[in-house]
Amino acid sequence: MGRTAAHGGGLRLVLLGAPGVGKGTQAAEIQRRTGVPHISTGAMLRAAVKEGTPPGQKARAIMERGALVPDALVGPIMAERLARPDAGGGFLLDGFPRTVGQADLLDRILAERGQGLDRVINVVVPEPEIIDRLTGRRLCAACGATFHVRSNRPRAEGVCDACGGALRRRDDDAEAAIAERLRIYQEQTAPLVARYQRAGLLLTVDGRGRPDEVFERIASSIPGLRG
């Protein structure tokens, strides 16, 4: 079943779940503890938009309205990222795969390497709570730390506790874009839950509560995660 953690070669994990369930927060903690690289297609695409690269220029408007960037654009970015040496010893994918086509691509890339996934972590949070989390979310433009206007306020309004950078709302955390992202999640990404369940890889975790509580739920099922 490819539970390779015990056989050398680090963990190969996917974080599945709707926008706003806390995938990025959990991924950062897992990376901190295990050293496996946290690979977020959303973060890579936002960097490409900021830099104004050709893929970034194509992705900008699509991301702003909360739609998915085409597989033909995301696939090569992910294939290139997984080919880098640091991903050879394991990885943690956050926000990929998001479509059946992307899951097929990931299967192909791993099959060529003679590898498989160890676990797919499906974090679940009720939709009203997701909407509250995303509308109140603020990100540091400099270091990427996340805050929330109600539940995780920075010490000084609009200023990052970690680095002093300016906090801003992601463009796609506007209400219309959130609704679109949740609709697309149900339509395109949710079918992957059943696929990974059938493959015996799925771990479903309640994403409510504090980040450390959620992490404990994940870590109690995946040996080696506590680092």
Q: Which of 12, 81, 119, 137 is catalytic?
A: 137
- According to DSSP, residue 6 is labeled B
Q: Assess 63 for contact with ligand AMP (CB under 6 A).
A: yes
Question: How far is 54 from 203, CA to CA, in rounded Å?
Answer: 37
Q: Assess 98 for contact with ligand AMP (CB under 6 A).
A: yes
Q: Assess 96 for contact with ligand AMP (CB under 6 A).
A: yes
Here the tokens at position 186 are: 């149900």
- Please answer whether residues 167 and 159 qualify as being in contact, where contact means their C-beta atoms are separated by less than 8 angstroms: yes
- 128 to 157, contacts with ligand AMP by CB under 6 A? none
Length of the chain: 227
The least CB distance from residue 93 to ligand AMP, in Å, is 9
Active site residue 58: no
Q: Assess 17 for contact with ligand AMP (CB under 6 A).
A: no
Q: Which residue is nearest to ligand AMP (CB)?
A: 42
Strands of the chain (E only): list them. Answer: 12-16, 38-40, 91-94, 119-124, 137-140, 146-148, 167-168, 202-206
The least CB distance from residue 205 to ligand AMP, in Å, is 18
Q: Assess 41 for contact with ligand AMP (CB under 6 A).
A: yes
Q: Which residues are catalytic?
A: 23, 98, 137, 170, 181
